[in-house]
Structure 1
Amino acid sequence: MYDASDPRAALAGTPKTQPAATEFAGAEIARFYEEPPQESGPEGRTWYVRGQNFLIAYTRAAPGAVLSRAVQPDEYVVLLQDSGTSVIIEAGGQREEVPGYSLAVVPPGASSVTVPKGGEVVRIFSTQSKDLAARCVNASSYATPHPNLPSYAPWPAPRGGYRIRAYSLDVAPAPGRFGRIFRCSTLMVNIIDPYEGPRDVRKLSPHHHDDFEQGSLALGGAFVHHLRWPWTVDMTQWREDLAAHCAAPSVCVIPPPSIHTSRGVDTGVNQLIDIFAPPRMDFSEKPGWVLNADDYPMPGQG
């Protein structure tokens, strides 16, 4: 259910790929500002949290920090929300200086992300990175796969082969487009347009997903994530409604098929980033929504 002004109101319904849900998982919440990091050392401090198919590594990097991957099985994303935090990415013999306020896709294999001045760096991986998945604060929550999610399958490789690809986040809003969406073979990241002050409670967007999780990463302001689960004939599966207050930086992993909506509540700038793995087909089918669609084909495309 969307307000008429929300671009998602025009999304076509997608056929269900999962049977009707009879059991449910809870939300996964990590408030980095009040929890100890999973790694702390000369490179800085890093918090890890996961969904079933994606994981987020949030780093407060020290000046000169090098965040490296010796054996990376698939593509991952580097998100630089802060315009003052630039990085140098090296992978596959390629070296790219990436300015702040950018998103970069890093190819499989060995790679490094150097942060000359330090700052806030977000890396987003699929959970095929088993070593990182094991570090997540909520790793035990996924000892058994969560229900209502199909097996993970990546999307096609990029046109022109794997390499470092960097994109500026300085993209003006456009009528009918929802946020600033980028995808790669493993992930979809939507940097939702920030807004000043609390969200209008008369224009919320309660909706649900049948068969994929959503990771909502707060990097500015504060949000209340509202979730409600369906009732079934089995009362042992019923869950209480949730209204989780999460300031930045934090993550809320929203499980299917819970009804959910998030509202910014800070008086300043509220910034939310939504993460999906693999990419969403409905967003991908909307012309102009995925800003780097020319680089990454959808399944079945050449």
Structure 2
Amino acid sequence: MSSRRLANGAQLIDFSDAEGGTRRYARAANFSAEWIVPAMGEVAVESAEEAIVVLPGGGEIAAAGWRHRAEGPSVAIVPPGRFAVAADAAAAVVLATDRPDLDDAAALNAGGVADPRIAPVGVPFARRVPLTAPLVLPIDAIPVPPDNGRLRFVQSATISINIVVYDGPRGRTALSPHEHDAIEQGTLAIAGDYVHHLRAPWGRNADAWLEDVHLDAPPGSLLLIPPRLIHTTEGVGAGAHVMLDIFAPPRRDFIAKGWMANAADYAAPPA
């Protein structure tokens, strides 16, 4: 396991190179991401808000009073409280904004300085009907936007994710470099190899300009992208590519466009 901080403010965390029983997680400004491999068995989790659990190879989620099994690639919105996660054929990912069971000082990327440009989560979205057990969605069944079959969008009360799925390399003539003003983005590679392209905008002082970065990212790597850093990600090589883009709080612009598959489950707080 490793963590690397770049001069442009981005961080690359590698979850993949550790023994099976080792807890591995990273801390972003507004969320944590824990990587749970099958060899770890059933792993206890506690979340003060709804959590998002991604099970790319299937697995189980259980708590007092309920147990849910996902036979294939799935994503689950899990109610607050204590539960357990076990991954089957591939690592599971637990995303949450408030994990009282995790020590931030033990995160792989511990010791960073808070970025004041990142807007806080604020008031959570309000679920219209409280969850008493997980809402488990097969990834293939999540609707896609009419003009982009690669993307699927899901939210919890405090997080939203884009699940990006495609086969083969992503065309180099169809990349989407962009930046965010007050948002930190997490990009987690689940399957396939990637190159993250990062560009720091130029200011008036040429002595402060930074070189572009073209960063190799294998499965099990998490890139944390700070505000105002131009970025795009290119899937390289053959085979399946599965990637998560992670945001906290949920992306209101994606909700407004009608892309968020489960947006109707929530009432948004005042902007």
Same fold (TM over 0.5): yes
Bigger mean CA deviation after superposition, 102-111 or 291-300: 291-300
Q: Any residues of structure 2 matched to 1:142-291 within 5 Å, and which?
A: 144-163=113-132, 164-171=134-141, 173-177=144-148, 179-196=151-168, 198-233=169-204, 238-287=209-258, 289-291=259-261
Q: Deviations over 1:215-241 (max 9, x none)?
A: 111111111101111223456754332
- C-alpha deviation, 1:157, in angstroms: 2.5
Instruction: Encode CA deviations 1:237-283: one digit per residue, 9 max, x unaligned.
Output: 54332111011121111111111111011222222111111111111
Residue 79 in 1 paired to residue 51 in 2?
no
TM-score normalised by the chain length of structure 1: 0.78
User: CA deviation digits over 1:82-127, x for unaligned, max 9?
Assistant: 2xx3213225x33333333111111212222245x56421111215
Q: Do residues 61 (structure 1) and 61 (structure 2) align?
A: no
Higher strand share: 2
- Cα distance in structure 2, aligned partners of 1:59 and 1:128: 15
Work out the percentage of aligned pairs sharing the same amino acid.
33
Listed as ranges, the matches of 1:81-96 within 5 Å are 81-82=56-57, 85-90=58-63, 93-96=65-68
Query: What letter matches 1:36 in structure 2?
Result: A
How many residues were matched structurally?
Answer: 262
Q: Among 29, 49, 52, which residue is 2:29 paired with?
A: 52
Evaluate the alpha carbon distance shift between residue 138 and residue 235 of structure 1 in structure 2; reply closer, same or farther with a 3 A threshold. farther
Q: CA 1:173 to 1:156, structure 2 compared with 1: closer, same or farther past 3 Å? A: closer
Find the counterpart in structure 1 of residue 269 from structure 2: 299
Say whether the 8 Å CA contact 2:145–2:152 is kept in structure 1. no
Letter in 2 for 1:247: P
Gaps of 5+ in 2: 1-6
Letter in 2 for 1:159: R
Equivalent residues of 2:126, 2:268 under 8 A apart: no
TM-score, length of structure 2 as denominator length: 0.86
Q: CA RMSD in A?
A: 2.5
Residue 30 of structure 1: how far off its partner (Å): 1.4
* Residue 138 (structure 1) aligns with: 109
Structure 2 residue 27 is the aligned partner of structure 1 residue 27? no
| Structure 1 residue 80 displacement after superposition | 0.7
Secondary structure, aligned partner of 2:84? strand
